[in-house]
Amino acid sequence: MSPSLASALSAETLESVGLELAIFFGTITVAVLIKLISFQSRCSHDFLHFWPACLTTCVSQTSKQSATKAQLLPDCTGKTDAHDVVTEGAVQSPAARILDSIIDRVLSKRSEEALVLYGELRARGQHLHITALLHASLRAKPSSFSALDIYGALVVSAIGGSQPQLVEDLFDDMSLAQVERPLGFYESTMKVLAGRKYYREALSVYDRLDSDGLKPSLTTLSCLISFASECGELERATGFFEQLAATSNPSIRAYMTILRVYSQKQEWTKSLKVFRSMVARSPSVDTVVLNIVLGTGVAAGQSEAAEALLHEMATTTEEFVDVISYNTILKGQSADKSLEILACMLERRVKPSGGTFNTVMNAVVMGSKLDGALKVLDQMQAVGIKPDKYTCTILMKGLSEKTTIQQLACVLQVFHIVLPQCSSELRVSLMKRLLKVARRSQLNTCPTFKHLLELSPEIARY
């Protein structure tokens, strides 16, 4: 083979190999770019899933950018980040570069960094020009990634980073930058704040919603009742409820919240009105609701009216009334009224609790009727309820100079039953009280009492 032919073949071979290598590296480059675009698209989807539904316009524009001959651009901190990609030959202002870095941090869920970068944009005095900067952005097109999307992501970042105070600043900036804030944006922000128990901040967002002339949805109104209640703003909670009730049938949750508010304010008349409205409009009324209303009546000094409501419900809707209903009404009643309510319970076959009997016994003892209290004790034991240390303490208060040896024996018997439940301090106190009464009434010289002491050596030591 001639030298010229060999040289030609070698050149042709090298050219062929070079072409194959170029095709190979070109294929690898395209594959890497496709993988990068796919990853960025997934990041955008995850971000949208995190923020509430009002920001559904946010899309992954980074996947639509040209990645041809891409080069790394240092971010505002002077560091180089693989997310800061720009097209060759593009020129950006420092503020636009910061905005691109914010978008990158948002898409990659680096929320704290996004907030820091926004702080730098603020320091440059460029934070009110986000809409204009979007037109210079290489990471997003303003037609599909708006200023509202950026602020929404920053709001979520602030709340998630336990910096709810920044929400006020971000809303101020949106207002100054004339970024429109739709109802959904406000309501979603309140929802996220409430989810972290930032109720006062959620109310502040509502104030902005209201000042913008927007009307909250019925669901939001119902939530606002709870927010105000949690913050102790009871008058405001009442206002929200009245606004809700005027336009719709409140949910059981809204009803329950406002009933607790009225209970705190001891507003019996309003509480009763709401309860009757619930009975008429809601099938979800139950014993818990009734007991809240009864408690409000007793706390407001309307025991007779509350008792009347109890008897009314026991007659018309028997399943609403339980032992707690009766125990609620028993608070603060006189001896005779307490005995009457106890008799009514037993007649209606509502089984009293130990607390029921103790409450009645205490009322009777306070009425200086130890014999009556001991009869209640008999009823208590007859239904299978054992006396406890509270029973013993109540009966001890009924002892006096007029106490008979038979009454003292009954109290002593209860004392023996509850002795293991008593602390050492209570045990000593009860023993001293028992002996003091016995000596004052000269029962300590009675043969029967001496016999009791023999049966109770622990007491005899005192």
Which has the closest alpha carbon to 60: 49, 51, 48, 52? 48
Q: What are phi and psi of 229, to 5 degrees?
A: -65, -45
| Coil, helix or strand at residue 349 | coil
pLDDT of residue 427: 76
Cα distance between residue 44 and residue 109, in whole Å: 9
Cα distance between residue 180 and residue 208, in whole Å: 12
Which has the closest alpha carbon to 226: 205, 246, 256, 196? 256
pLDDT of residue 276: 92
pLDDT of residue 460: 53
Burial 367-377 (b: 16+ CB within 10 A, else e): bebbebbbebb
According to CATH, what is the number of the domain 181-265?
Answer: 1.25.40
**Residue written as token pair 């200023």:** 147
- Give me the mean pLDDT over the 236-241 stretch: 95
Contacts 24+ apart (CB under 8 A), 275-279: 277/245
* Element (DSSP H or E) covering residue 71: strand 71-74
Q: Cα 459 to chain center, whole Å?
A: 52
Q: What are the C-alpha distances in Å from 105 to residues 73, 149, 186, 272? A: 15, 13, 23, 54
Cα distance between residue 217 and residue 188, in whole Å: 12
DSSP 8-state symbol, 74: E
pLDDT of residue 426: 82
Provide the pLDDT confidence category of residue 136 given band limits of 50, 70 and 90.
Answer: confident
Question: Which of the pair, 5 or 112, is modelled with greater confidence?
Answer: 112
* Element (DSSP H or E) covering residue 85: strand 80-86
Provide the pLDDT confidence category of residue 432 given band limits of 50, 70 and 90.
Answer: confident
Provide the pLDDT confidence category of residue 287 given band limits of 50, 70 and 90.
Answer: very high
Tally of residues, the chain? 462
pLDDT at 173 over 70: yes
pLDDT of residue 409: 80
**CATH 1.25.40: which residues of the chain?**
181-265
**pTM exceeds 0.75 for this model:** no
